[in-house]
């Protein structure tokens, strides 16, 4: 039997001795990462979403529904009636043509495309790194649109299809056609809820296609690295754990919209997260019941936030550029240690606001004057850079100067100041920024002190009616 196998390998090599290379020079048939392309029961499989589009529809004035379904793509061995059955002990027999099987949970037997040899008109792989590709068949005239696939697994599967199209032997044993097991579709699971330590998976990975993951009451002291590989994740709930520090790589979850870190041991929220891809994706953030004393100035760069919960922390101030969160609609920062609100708080437009239980101070009667005449060179140059929006960074000027510019105060006139200013406080009715306001104290108050800065004496005089 070994002699027969060796003889078959020698005869097969001249026809297709090498695996075709991708345009970039990398071989497409490689060991896939994450198990996205699997060889189960002799079959090569790809888990993805598939939409089969008939190219006849436009001619008939019809349109495709434009939505893919969860499916398993299998490259199988097509049984040939004219081919003799393999003898006992011979696992492969003579070469058989490969076929493509698309199976869904509703149709586990799948749709079979029997003829692949010289029947693929074109491969569209421009977005293969995003897990997307299209295979255009000649007969029947359909486009098989693949999406939400693991990129490395997709490359391997497409490489195998190219071999089948050329009539070459695929670099994997192909099994007879068989319905896909229901357990295969467990890998398409998009939601997982874990609410106890005993149910937390220690020896196996999370399903790759998860979009919603909750792992509460699991005793986690850090974010599990396996979670950071879930590139489709939209909602991550790690509430009621013991997490002390967040990994900056959470910012690599480019689709993350909701992050719940309620009831942990966090003491800060890093600048790296504020400057990550979360700027474009994060909509809801729950940091309540932690030990956070202050949020970084860069927190205001999370411009897509609509819901922010900061209750039961140790906050002594809010980011003074919080007014730049123009999409914010729900803000809750009850039971903290806030003595006042930043001036830009007036720029918010909220539907709901809760600041109950903070240690708000009474406005100072006299302002704090820190003006200098003439302005120092540092103050003058900093104001010029900020007013004219001149780009800066640690690769241009020292890092400590970048920090000074990042923390510059904004005058009520819109100009900036570093260390030369007048500081004053006044009260603001919170209904001016929110439709629904939770009472600030037990006395039924809805007013809170606001800290304002003035870049010059003239600005202060022009705004002195604020302090009457």
Give pLDDT tens digits for 140-189. Answer: 999 999 988 888 889 988 998 888 888 887 666 555 566 777 666 666 77
CA distance 291 to 245: 11
Please provide the average confidence, as pLDDT, over all residues in the chain: 81
Look at 67 and 91; give whichever has higher pLDDT.
67
Beta strands in 325-446 (DSSP E): 330-332, 341-342, 350-354, 368-370, 409-410, 416-417, 421-429, 434-438
Q: What is the 3-state secondary structure (H, E, C) of 212-261?
A: EEEECCCCCCCCCHHHHHCCCCCEEECCCCCCCCCCHHHHHCCCCCEEEC
pLDDT band per the 50, 70, 90 thresholds, residue 44:
confident
CA distance 59 to 141: 12
Q: What pLDDT sits at residue 31?
A: 38
For residue 310, is pLDDT > 80?
A: yes
Q: What pLDDT sits at residue 2?
A: 40
User: Residue 48, Cα to own-chain centre: how many angstroms?
Assistant: 18
* Cβ atoms of residues 29 and 159 within 8 Å: yes
Q: What pLDDT sits at residue 85?
A: 44
pTM for the whole thing? 0.66
Burial label for 226, CB within 10 Å (0-12, 13-18, 19+), is: exposed
Q: What pLDDT sits at residue 79?
A: 60
Percent of the chain scoring above 90 in pLDDT: 38
Average pLDDT score over residue span 38-54: 70
Q: What pLDDT sits at residue 179?
A: 72
Give pLDDT tens digits for 371-393. Answer: 888 888 998 999 899 888 899 88
Residue 321: phi, psi to the nearest 5?
Answer: -105, 25
CA distance 235 to 242: 19
Report DSSP letters for 79-132, one per residue.
P-TTSPPPPTT-SS-S---EEEEEE-SS-SS-EEE---TT-EEEEE-TTGGGT-
The CA–CA distances, whole Å, from 160 to 13, 35, 137 equal 16, 16, 15
If we measure between CA atoms, which residue out of 70, 235, 268, 86 comes closest to residue 174? 86
Look at 69 and 175; give whichever has higher pLDDT.
69
Percent of the chain scoring above 70 in pLDDT: 80
CA dihedral 6, 7, 8, 14 (to 10 degrees): 100
Q: What pLDDT sits at residue 185?
A: 67
HSE at residue 300, side-chain half, CA atoms within 13 A, is 17
CA distance 62 to 390: 53
Beta strands in 306-419 (DSSP E): 307-309, 330-332, 341-342, 350-354, 368-370, 409-410, 416-417
Give pLDDT tens digits for 234-273. Answer: 999 999 999 999 988 899 899 999 999 999 999 999 999 9
CA distance 299 to 385: 21
Look at 37 and 219; give whichever has higher pLDDT.
219
pLDDT band per the 50, 70, 90 thresholds, residue 60:
low
Q: What pLDDT sits at residue 95?
A: 54
């Amino acid at each position: 039997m070994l002699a027969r196998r060796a003889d078959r390998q020698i005869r097969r090599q001249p026809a297709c001795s090498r695996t075709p290379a991708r345009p970039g020079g990398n071989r497409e048939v490689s060991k896939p990462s994450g198990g996205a392309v699997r060889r189960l029961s002799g079959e090569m499989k790809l888990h993805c979403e598939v939409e089969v589009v008939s190219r006849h529809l436009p001619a008939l004035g019809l349109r495709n529904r434009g939505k893919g379904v969860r499916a398993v793509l299998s490259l199988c061995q097509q049984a040939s009636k004219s081919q003799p059955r393999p003898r006992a002990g011979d696992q492969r027999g003579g070469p058989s043509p490969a076929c493509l099987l698309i199976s869904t949970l509703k149709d586990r037997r799948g749709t079979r495309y029997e003829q692949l040899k010289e029947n693929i008109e074109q491969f569209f792989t421009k977005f293969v790194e995003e897990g997307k590709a299209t295979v255009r068949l000649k007969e029947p005239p359909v486009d098989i649109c693949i999406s939400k696939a693991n990129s490395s697994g997709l490359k391997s599967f497409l490489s195998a299809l190219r071999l089948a199209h050329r009539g070459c032997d695929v670099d994997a044993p192909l099994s007879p056609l068989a319905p896909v097991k229901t357990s295969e579709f467990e890998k398409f699971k998009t939601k997982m809820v874990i609410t106890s330590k005993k149910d937390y998976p220690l020896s196996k990975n999370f399903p790759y296609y998860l979009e919603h993951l909750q792992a509460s009451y699991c005793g986690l002291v850090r974010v599990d690295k396996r979670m950071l590989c879930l590139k489709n994740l939209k909602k991550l709930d790690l509430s009621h754990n013991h997490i002390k520090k967040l990994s900056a790589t959470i910012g690599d979850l480019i689709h993350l919209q909701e992050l719940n870190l309620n009831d942990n041991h966090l003491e800060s929220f890093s600048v790296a997260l504020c400057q990550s891809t979360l700027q474009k994706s994060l909509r809801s953030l729950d940091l309540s019941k932690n030990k956070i004393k202050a949020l970084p100035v860069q927190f205001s760069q999370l411009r897509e936030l609509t819901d922010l919960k900061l209750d039961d922390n140790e906050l002594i101030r809010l980011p003074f550029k919080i007014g730049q969160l123009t999409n914010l609609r729900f803000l809750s920062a009850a039971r903290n240690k806030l003595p006042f609100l930043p001036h830009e708080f007036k720029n918010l437009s909220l539907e709901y606001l809760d600041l109950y239980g903070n240690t708000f101070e009474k406005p100072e009667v006299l302002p704090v004057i820190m003006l200098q005449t003439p302005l120092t060179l540092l103050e003058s140059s900093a104001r010029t850079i900020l007013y004219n929006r001149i780009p800066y960074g640690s690769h241009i000027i020292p890092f400590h100067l970048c920090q000074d510019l990042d923390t510059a105060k904004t005058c009520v006139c819109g100009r900036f100041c570093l260390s030369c200013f007048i500081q004053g406080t006044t009260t603001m009715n919170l209904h001016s920024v929110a439709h629904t306001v939770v009472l600030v104290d037990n006395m039924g108050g809805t007013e809170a002190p606001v800290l304002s800065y003035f870049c010059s004496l003239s600005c202060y005089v022009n705004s002195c009616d604020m302090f009457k």
